[in-house]
Chains A and B, each alone.
Chain A
Amino acid sequence: MNNLAFSWNILSDLTTMWSYDFMAHAFEAGTVVAVVAGIIGYFVVLRRSSFAAHALSHAGFAGAAGAVLLGINPIFGLFAFTSVGAVLIGILGRKAASRDVQIGVVLAFLLGVGVLFISLYQGYATEAYSLLFGEILGISVGDVWTTLITGTLVLAVFAAMYRPLLFTSLDEDIAEGKGVPVFGIGLAFMLLIAAATSIAVQVVGVLLIFALMVTPAAIAARVARRPFQGMLISAGIALCATWISLFISFYLPYPVSFFITAITFVLYALVRFSTR
């Protein structure tokens, strides 16, 4: 990443790293994204909606590619297309547990649109590369603020709908019988996934969204006895993986997203084989 050497004096290394604006921005945005993705991701796993999160990140790719084509900030394209994808998936597949086909249909269509945008784009391939694999070290102050505001809004809406969301996530049929507006909650949650995905794409990119949105949550779902513990564990793992990866990649010439995926995968494998 740069030619600085690791000194083994952690405090001094951290101070040096944070003296660079791009690293400070990466830590700020990465922190928000990890917490939001970890918490929302826990419910993605509880609801078995990881395919939806995957599809929405691809919808985001199409949107971001369109925004790049139009010469505007990719994050606006991300928001627009993930939201449209969320509404389409929510309306076409009314129940979270049986949406696979509808998600696949929406995914294929929006990815096709993304391919068209990329083919029309005459600029550098690096733009497309950073969308696919994330470019956290290129985050601006404006992006940090957008990430912070979006993340706060997502968590505020999430907190407001927490209990009916938990109820529908653990048993949609009982929740419906108890009068919980299952369709409305499902649609609202898809929009939360859309917003969380949009900001997470900056860190890990479209193809690696699972690393923050699903893997930490999958670990939490295997060990947490209570939903609140699950959210804490999931967000904690996502946060540690992001921080450690940023730190390592400051000293080693490899992508941040690789380290995030590697750390979360190794943790998942350890938990998977050490529990039932």
Chain B
Amino acid sequence: MTTDDRNVITGRDLSAGYGDMMVWGDANFSIRKGEFVGILGPNGAGKTTLFRLLLGLAQPKRGELELFGQKPKRGNPRIGYVPQRHAVDQELAIEALEIVRLGACAGAWGFDLPGETGRERQKALEALKDVGAEDLAHRPLGALSGGELQRVFLAQALSGDPELLLLDEPLANLDIRRESELVQLIQNVVRSRGVTALLIAHNINPLLPVLDRVVYVANGRVATGTPEEVLTSDTLSKLYDTPVEVLRDSRGRIAIVGAEEGHLHHE
């Protein structure tokens, strides 16, 4: 694989794991600036592990991983990160703007000074506007719905003006309408800001119209390419090492049949 200046992320013979356990290995891929990339695969395949490598929270077992031409490091301000969501305390009255602001002041120590707070809150408000959620700015976090929370956390990731967005299962627990709204929103942000976005998802169909590239993690292996290249019976059968059928319906939605139990992509 040749090095390309436009590559934001490059993996060469990359293997990942924890302790003695290998999660996936021998991955070769490159992701270019401005691409919208879906990280797909069954639960437990190691999709989040790739994020942990990029965030500098875990080290590769073997091979090389380059991010912006360097080894990944912890606390990289060029990355905006939205982790897999868990419930927010419903009694929490802190306004949404405050958590968005934290994305803009990550890495700072000491107490908030009034001038800094004002600047950070302004930046946070702009990030909320970018995701069409300025009306949520002063709402208590505990009173927000799942979809509203995802917008707020997306704004948090954007408030540090990142070049790379890592979104871990942002579509989880959203209904079909909210799923496609959020996908559209993320695509708009990716295009308007020119950021590269990696989005982990279990359900591929809402993403199909917008993805530039797919990184498919399954069975300890990784396949990458355009959705048309990766999401085929042939590629996925090789990946899973067992016959797999990729079925398409009249509207272009796909279902993967014969893969690991429970791994059926459908709407």
Contact = CB atoms under 8 A, between A and B. Distances in A.
A225 B97 CA distance: 9
A51 to B, nearest CB: 15
A48 B110 contact: no
B93 A225 contact: yes
B89 A225 contact: no
Given A161-B109, A164-B109, A179-B76, A224 B99 contact: no
Contacts, number: 93
Contacts of B51: 177
Interface residues of B, number: 39
B185 interface: no
Contacts of B110: 159-160, 162-163
A48 B89 contact: yes
Given A174-B156, A179-B56, A180-B106, A163 B112 contact: yes
Contact of A180 (B75, B111, B143): B75
Contact of A177 (B83, B105, B112): B83
21 contacts: A48-B89, A159-B111, A160-B111, A163-B105, A164-B109, A167-B106, A171-B83, A174-B83, A174-B103, A176-B57, A177-B81, A177-B83, A178-B75, A178-B103, A179-B74, A179-B75, A218-B91, A225-B95, A226-B95, A230-B94, A276-B143
Given A171-B102, A180-B106, A227-B94, 19 more contacts: A46-B94, A160-B109, A160-B111, A162-B111, A163-B111, A174-B83, A174-B103, A174-B156, A175-B106, A176-B57, A178-B103, A180-B107, A224-B93, A225-B93, A225-B98, A225-B138, A227-B98, A228-B112, A230-B94
Interface of B: 51, 55-57, 73-76, 79, 81-84, 86, 89, 91-95, 98-99, 102-103, 105-112, 138, 140, 142-143, 153, 156, 166
